Structure 1
Amino acid sequence: MARHIYRCPLRWSDMDAFGHVNNVVFLRYLEEARIDFMFRLAPGEGSESFTGGSVVARHEIDYLRPLVHRHEPVTVETWVTKLTAASLTVAYEVKDAEAVYVRASTVVVPYNLEKGRPRRITAEERSFLEEYFDDSASGSGAAGKEAVAA
C-alpha cells in the first residue's frame, strides 16, 4: 500500500498565543496534502480526473500532541481508507521523525460543478485511488472498499 507524502511548511501565522500550531491550521495542512494528492498526482496529462470539483462532507481529527512552530516542514502522509461509488475517505498523519501530531480523516464527494450535484467516481479515478487504498490503518474501523453501484 502506497502513501502519498507531502512536505508541509509551517508558517509564522500558524501559531496560536501559546506558540503551538493552532488547531484550525491543521485542517489547512490536510487540505494542502489532499489537493496535492488528488490533483497533482491525478492520472495522466490531459486527464479530466478530479478536475470537476469535490466537496468535503466530513472531517475527523485527533490532536495527539502540540506542534511547536519551527522552520522545518512536517510530513503529511495521505492514503485512502474507504472507496464507494460516489465518495472516498482519505486518512492522514501529520508527523516528523520524532512524533505523530495529528491523525485525521476526510470524506470527499466528487462534485459536478456545472450540474450542481454530486457525481460518481470514474473508473480512472478509482484505479488511481486503489493504488493508495489501505483500511487496516484507518483507526476508525472504516468499512473499506465497497462495490461500485451501476
Structure 2
Amino acid sequence: MTTIDIEKAIQIYIEASASTLSMMEYVLLLLNEFQKNVQQCKQAIAAGDSDDRGRDRSLQKAQDFLFELMTTTDHEAERSDRLMTIYLHMNQCLVQTHITKTDDLLGHVEEMTVQLIASWQVAKQVTRRRNFTTDRL
C-alpha cells in the first residue's frame, strides 16, 4: 500500500465513524475539538507566536467547531435558546480574543466548555439508561 492509499483509507474511516455517531456523541466530539483548539490558541498566545498564524489558525478552527455546534442545536427544543446564547457568547469571546490578541477571555471560554461537556455527558448517560433499561432479565 502506498502512503496515498493509507491516507485515503484513514479519511474513509474517519468519515464513516463520524457518520455513525449519535447526536450526543457528535456534540461531545465537537465540544472536545473546540476545547482543544481553545487550548492551542492559549498556548500560541503564551508562546508569543510572532506571526500570529498559530493563534489565528486555532481561533478559526475553534469558531468552525462552534458554528457546527450551532447547526446541531434543535431549535424546537425548550432550552435551545439558552444554548444558542451560550454559543454566541463564546463566539464573541473568540472574536474579542482575535481583536485584542490576548488570552484574557479564553479561560472563561474553557470553563464554559468544561461545563457544557459535563452536562452533555450526564445527558448522554441519562438517555442511555432510559433507552436501555428493561424490567426483564
Q: Which has the larger helix fraction?
A: 2
TM-score (structure 2 length as normaliser): 0.28
Report the structure, 1 or 2, having the larger strand content. 1
Q: Which structure is larger by alpha-carbon Rg, 1 or 2?
A: 2
